[in-house]
Amino acid sequence: MKKNIRAYESDFADVFKAGDAFSFWKGRVAMYAILKSLGVGEGDEVILPGYTCVMDVTPVKYLGAAPVYVDIEPFTYNMNLDLLADKITERTKVIVAQHTYGYLVDMDRLLEIADRRGVFVIEDCCLALGSKYRGKLAGTFGVASYFSSQWNKPYTTGLGGMALCNTPEIASKINQLRKTEIQGPSLKRVAMLTAQLMVYRAFVYPKTTVFATNTFRWLSDKGLIVGSTTNRELEIPVEPEGFFMAMSSPQAFAGRKQLRKLDRIIQHRKKMTKFYDEMLAQRGWRIIQPPDHTDPVFVRYPVRVKDKDAALKAAEKNGIELGSWFISPLHNQIEKIEMYDYKWGLCPQAEKAAREVVNLPVHPRVNLANARKVIDFICKFEQAK
């Protein structure tokens, strides 16, 4: 393994002052490695919130296990722990604690339930890098956790994932998996992703985000760039060839640079969150206050509107950066959602959130002037109750 990849993993682990870190091509690959190291396979069940990315479900399916969904709390968008116990069976192997948007799951309660039933807990921190629960960083509570540094995550390496292992046994197993089963990305793929990162840094700003996003999706669909998700991944939940892939050296180089800026990134996100809180409260919008024992760092700032489609269309027309996460309980799968063992009506709060939630940008390229325009825009729409 190349020196700077090892250095990136070491730097990442140092942020948490706990465990061992292992890098991968994507966040979903890191999740896959964790599940496989825990022995998840045919006949097992993995519990997830019914408001997640479908790419968090595919590793479960790839390993032959069954995803089981729990509806969410309406304000934190996290798994409703009042409903969790009834979902645990003798087949349950793992519970995935997804810290949605940056809101923290009640880890004390979740771990108590899991310990009582003898179930592993892993944390999905793809949307919560830097968030804290009772003073401890998200990612340090479960037996392992996984992170993403894809384009729209807390920081970006283009694509990228990291597994943080809090027990030496799991770390040893993942290390062995990487030695025996993982493959490296092709030179062509690495070159394309490196070029995409250069374009992103040079041209993607709040004024160009809508155009850049649409262009990226079109090029990705045509196979002209390295996309976050392939059409095949959305067509059928069967592990594609080359899925279990290692991180490249340019990704690790970018990651090390981003980690050196992490404190600034976190403070900027908190600053933007406070600004949105204050501006929306002044306009009479209901603000969700996280519990005092949590310190969230938002990847995006979620709000609910009655007419989500109209808001998104108007935002695109007016060049306003407005996110659609999540468009379904298993974003962004709608038509073939049943293939992932989800039936419509299973998680009503999650389905309602998918119909109503849009999110405001808090990333480092958004300043207060940009944010004020976003507030002026979103307040033209009626808040959903």
pLDDT digits (tens, 9 = 90+) for 79-117: 999 999 999 999 999 999 999 999 999 999 999 999 999
Query: d(Cα 379, Cα 97) in Å, to the nearest integer?
Result: 32
Whether residue 35 contacts residue 59, with contact meaning beta carbons closer than 8 Å, is answered with yes
Q: Are strands 301-304 and 357-360 parallel, antiparallel or unpaired?
A: antiparallel
Query: d(Cα 148, Cα 237) in Å, to the nearest integer?
Result: 20
Domains annotated on the chain, with CATH: 3-180 (3.40.640.10), 187-244 (no CATH), 262-378 (3.90.1150.10)
Average pLDDT over residues 272-290: 97
Tell whether the model's pLDDT for residue 132 goes beyond 80.
Answer: yes
Mean pLDDT of the chain: 94
> CA 272 from chain center: how many Å?
19
Query: d(Cα 33, Cα 180) in Å, to the nearest integer?
Result: 12
The amino acid sitting at 82 is D
For 31, 32, 338, the CA distances from 125, given in Å and listed in that order, are 11, 14, 26
- CA torsion sign for 177, 179, 180, 181 is positive
Tell whether the model's pLDDT for residue 356 goes beyond 90.
Answer: yes
Phi, psi of 35 (to 5 degrees): -60, -40
- Chain segment 303-349, per-residue pLDDT in tens: 999 999 999 999 999 999 999 999 999 999 988 999 999 999 999 99
pLDDT at 225: 73
- The residue with tokens 């990849």 is 5
Query: d(Cα 117, Cα 96) in Å, to the nearest integer?
Result: 15
Whether residue 363 contacts residue 297, with contact meaning beta carbons closer than 8 Å, is answered with no
- What ranges in the chain are assigned the alpha helix state H? 3-16, 27-37, 58-62, 107-117, 168-180, 187-203, 209-221, 231-235, 249-260, 262-282, 308-318, 348-356, 368-378
pTM above 0.85, yes or no: yes
- The residue with tokens 């269309």 is 313
The amino acid sitting at 325 is W
- Chain segment 205-223, per-residue pLDDT in tens: 776 776 777 777 777 767 7
pLDDT at 1: 61
